[in-house]
Structure 1
Amino acid sequence: MAMELTPGQQALLDGSRGPAMAKVVRTLVMYGECFGARRMVEVTGARGHLVTSFGLSMLKPVYDLMDELAAGGAVSGQEFSADPRPLDPAVPANPLQRLVFKVMYSKQADYEAQLGAMGLMGGDAFTCTCYMPEVGNRPGRGDVLSWAESSAVVFANSVLGARCNRNSGIIEMFGSIAGFVPEFGLLTDEGRRATWVVEVACEHRPEPQVLGSAIGMRVMEEVPYIKGLGRWLGDSLDRGVEDYLKDMGAAAASNGAVGLYHVDGLTPEAVKLGESGLVAPGAKVYRIDDAELERVRSGYPVMWKRPADKPKLCFIGCPHLSSAQLADWSDRIVEGLVAAGKRRVQVPTVLTAAPAVARSFEGTAAAERLAATGAVVSSICPLMYTNNPLCGRMPMATNSNKLRTYSTARYYTDDEVLALVTRGRADERGGDR
């Protein structure tokens, strides 16, 4: 099936702006035809986002491609943010681990220079939560995007009402360069209809990370319509609700492949169209109660070599924390240590947030109190930190189901993480079992 291109798009494919741009458009055409797209649609979001932010030494084809694009004038038509950096000297690491990082990410500085030439927003643009107001890459309702970062895609689609497929790395950049993307999947009205109805029937407020995990593992790449969360979240998309949905969506996207969900009476399309307008005929039903969440959580494997070990490092925030979450975690850690009669965190602890969010936290009284506990605020990508044999063997704790899925880190709920950090052990019900 041939793609129906506009005269302008065809001209680009034919080389009107050089061979590099022609190659970009040819790739997008081939990509779209794989998924049955009939035409291209304009990218309307103000800014793009790039998931490949790490200068791994073995990614030579990526660096060669960036040089070819820049030399051919095929730079991004819109500024873009990028996923977090893989390195931060403030994050605890032993000398051997730092040597491994230096070798693994030996191209980081060179790659960031390439990204700058391609249209990177700036040094504060490295975060997986580019949609945070402090970052400046928050799309509007109905905007068509060319992104790949799974947690950002699901948030933009679901909470902000933008339209974006779960693209691959580099393909997302091609969409920003060309200014258009193939129309299929989550860019279409039909592709955004729910094929699952998820009925949340819990007696206790569901942990967003476990709820998202359960949804993702059941519906996989399909679209769920979630009912029953209004009991705890209400009917207003305030910042606290957005934070809950951010973490739930990231878990659904990583434990499955969810790119869009609707929450009854809360997310934009659910408010506008309702269940009758969004749920496809024959949709499957998944009922989630407290027992189901416990079943899901108890099935998480423990990847530590010695499960009884005490964690040597704890990451809080993957995706990056919002400003409200960062402030809340700071207060909880400080108050938890006081209650435990301790002054310093009992497990080396890293809280991650976007550079702009972390910078706004610096210099505050809360930041000074947190620093006195030994906890570190960083804009690192926890996954990139763990993505090597030395760090991968360490017993690490996290409150992120995304990080648990992509690394050997062990999942603990927020309350259990707080107990680990302030008392040196999780509570009796928690992740110690």
Structure 2
Amino acid sequence: MKLTAEQEAMLAGERGETMAKVLETLVRYGDLYGADEMVSVTSKYNHLVTSFGLKALGPVYELMGKLIDEGAVSQTGFSVDPRPLDDNVPASFLQKIIFKHFMYSKQDFYEGQLRELGLMGDDAFTCTCYMDEVGNVPAAGDVLSWSESSAVVYANSVLGARCNRNSGIIDLMGSVCGFVPRFGLLTDDGRRADWVVEVRCERRPEAQLLGSAIGMRVMADVPYITGLDAWLGDELDGSAKAYLKDMGAACASNGAVGLYHVEGLTPEAREQGRALVREGARVYVIDDAELERVHASYPVVWKNADAKPKLCFMGCPHMSMEQLEQWSERIAQGLAEAGRTRVSVPCVFTAAPAVAKRFAATPAARVLDAAGVVVSSICPLMYMNNPLSAKMPVITNSNKLRTYSSARYYTDDEILDILTKGAR
């Protein structure tokens, strides 16, 4: 790998032994993927995935302590994934004991380390750091040192920034030294499409279901998606961004997609069009029947498939302001039609802290509260990541949460019927 004089000096220890090890880690990482050089991180902020104070992560806390002691902190500052705890989220007495005293007993300590390393602020805990309310919105062409698959795919695809699918700790290393290895989605060639996905549905496809189908078929390749203009139009407005957020999260979790292009809509597709598609690219046609096939393929991992749901999580990744407002309207209308006043299943809508605070000041927030819906900034995955929660019959409209937990996926309309009518 070709290094600049500045990077060679850093590697030789000019900025201390700890910083030399940080850069060496990134160089070795880049060598594994055939990187040709190190490039500067240009985003205003970075994003880390490790937000949870698991007792078992002793080596992580030791590493963080070394970085802090040596002054090897983030060059830019960063946001981080959601917290794993919220007392407002329904949980049994035993679950709360396990969460606080066994699983996440190091949460307060670890958050202190994150603040010393460069955390943007106490409201910077979210998987949707790119929301305007949060303030970590990279510009097109910015080079990032991010992880969190749903955030990376959004930044690459919807914002036109450049970032590989990094792991935890690698994201921090790039943020600390200010360089990342250049390969994959940081290169022009790595951003070209290997697949053309033709959406030929008669009705607007469920974002999470469409993303699941794409991810399972193309895996880690780059898809160029056509046919979505019928429902999304040609402007990246709030509605389109929310749709692509959820679609991308499913692409990234049900496959390993780090970038997709949507014809006529996403930045690079608007600029380059079909020139982004490689010669010989494969074609995948998605119609309503294909989406039904994909949906039917999901396994039900509940011990009792007919169990009554005990909890519903909405917002993985975190919901936008527009989604919270739309769902408050749908819940209110659905309850009125059913002659009910409260949802039939305890329900949690999740959103970034800054989004949740903004939403709390609106009449829509009072509608959800009256209906028995909790708005939280928790990470549903971290809530589900233990044997007690795994045994619960939890429902969700998130294909990411379905993939990584025992939660059962339902479409938006199905979720609404369950919540407002008690239907199954």
TM-score, normalised to structure 1's length?
Answer: 0.97
| Residue identity opposite 1:112 in structure 2 | E
Spell out, residue by residue over 1:117-175, the C-alpha distance to the aligned partner (whole angstroms, 9 max, x if none).
Answer: 00000110000000000000011100000111100000000000000000000100100
Local SS of the residue matching 1:109:
helix
| Residue identity opposite 1:403 in structure 2 | L
Alpha-carbon distance in 2 for matches of 1:421, 1:269: 39
Local SS of the residue matching 2:349:
strand
5+ long unaligned stretches in structure 1: 427-433
Alpha-carbon distance in 1 for matches of 2:138, 2:65: 29
Alpha-carbon distance in 2 for matches of 1:238, 1:403: 26
The corresponding residue for 2:167 is: 168
Alpha-carbon distance in 2 for matches of 1:247, 1:127: 15
The corresponding residue for 1:424 is: 422
Alpha-carbon distance in 2 for matches of 1:206, 1:373: 28
The corresponding residue for 1:216 is: 215
Alpha-carbon distance in 1 for matches of 2:365, 2:285: 41
| Residue identity opposite 1:206 in structure 2 | P
User: Which residue, 382, 403, 406 being the options, matches 2:404?
Assistant: 406
User: Which residue, 294, 297, 300 being the options, matches 1:296?
Assistant: 294
User: Which residue, 358, 363, 366 being the options, matches 1:365?
Assistant: 363
Using the TM superposition, give the Cα deviation of residue 364 of structure 1 relative to its aligned residue in structure 2, in angstroms: 2.0
Contact 1:327-1:366 at 8 Å conserved across structures: yes
The corresponding residue for 1:390 is: 388
Using the TM superposition, give the Cα deviation of residue 363 of structure 1 relative to its aligned residue in structure 2, in angstroms: 3.0
Which is further off, 177-186 or 324-333? 324-333
The corresponding residue for 1:430 is: none
Spell out, residue by residue over 1:324-376, the C-alpha distance to the aligned partner (whole angstroms, 9 max, x if none).
Answer: 00111112112211111111110000000000000001132211121111110
Using the TM superposition, give the Cα deviation of residue 281 of structure 1 relative to its aligned residue in structure 2, in angstroms: 1.0
The corresponding residue for 2:138 is: 139
Alpha-carbon distance in 1 for matches of 2:271, 2:15: 42
The corresponding residue for 1:32 is: 30
Local SS of the residue matching 1:10:
helix
Alpha-carbon distance in 2 for matches of 1:296, 1:224: 18
TM-score, normalised to structure 2's length?
Answer: 0.99
Once the two structures are aligned, what percentage of the paired residues are identical?
A: 67
The corresponding residue for 2:327 is: 329
The corresponding residue for 1:123 is: 122
The corresponding residue for 1:431 is: none
Q: Does 1:104 align with 2:103?
A: yes
Counterpart mapping for 1:130-279 below 5 A: 130-275=129-274, 277-279=275-277
Alpha-carbon distance in 2 for matches of 1:324, 1:79: 28
Alpha-carbon distance in 2 for matches of 1:362, 1:10: 51
The corresponding residue for 1:113 is: 112
The corresponding residue for 1:90 is: 88
Contact 1:20-1:73 at 8 Å conserved across structures: no
Which is further off, 22-31 or 12-21? 12-21
Alpha-carbon distance in 2 for matches of 1:194, 1:375: 41
Q: Does 1:342 align with 2:340?
A: yes
| Residue identity opposite 2:346 in structure 1 | P
Spell out, residue by residue over 1:44-63, the C-alpha distance to the aligned partner (whole angstroms, 9 max, x if none).
Answer: 01000000000000000000
Local SS of the residue matching 1:269:
helix
The corresponding residue for 1:65 is: 63
Local SS of the residue matching 2:282:
strand
Aligned length: 423
